[in-house]
Amino acid sequence: MLTVEQLKPTISSIDEVRKSGLNVGYHDGSFVKNLLEDLNFNTSKIKAYDTPDDFYNALSKGSNNGGIAAFVHEVPYIKLFLAKHCKEYTMVGPFYKTAGFGYVSNFIYVHVWTITLQSISQSSLLKYIYRL
């Protein structure tokens, strides 16, 4: 049996980032900017980035060197990021639930999507997907 040393985060929560006045990143154009503002982050500490490489470079610099101390994103995208950078970074909570999905008005598949999402969320499939 092989074991590996588990990473211990230097930051334990998003509140710690806010209270310490550190920079935090988010994906440009995402609803996460509003979430960070709702969590009372100073807007000058909220930094937008476009790509996973941008996040990586900003995290590598650190908040004191013009980068970020942490980034907030949707869990599936964080998992993709960690698949590439799991030796250097880890994910910490808390995890915030959002209001849900939005569709364009008159989208012809709204009914189908609604039924599908409802059946997935009420089954054990969603728990399985989150474990991946």
Q: Quickly list DSSP for 18-59.
A: HHTT--EEEETTSTHHHHHHHTT--GGGEEEE-SHHHHHHHH
Q: Which residue matches tokens 């909220």?
A: 46
Looking at 2-11, 69-78, 85-94, 120-129, which range is the least confident one? 2-11
Q: Are 15 and 70 in contact (CB under 8 A)?
A: no
CA 94 – CA 14 distance, rounded (Å): 8
Please tell me whether residue 18 adopts helix, strand or coil conformation.
helix
- Residue 25 has what pLDDT? 94
Q: What is the pLDDT of residues 107-130, one digit of tens each?
A: 677 777 777 777 776 777 666 766
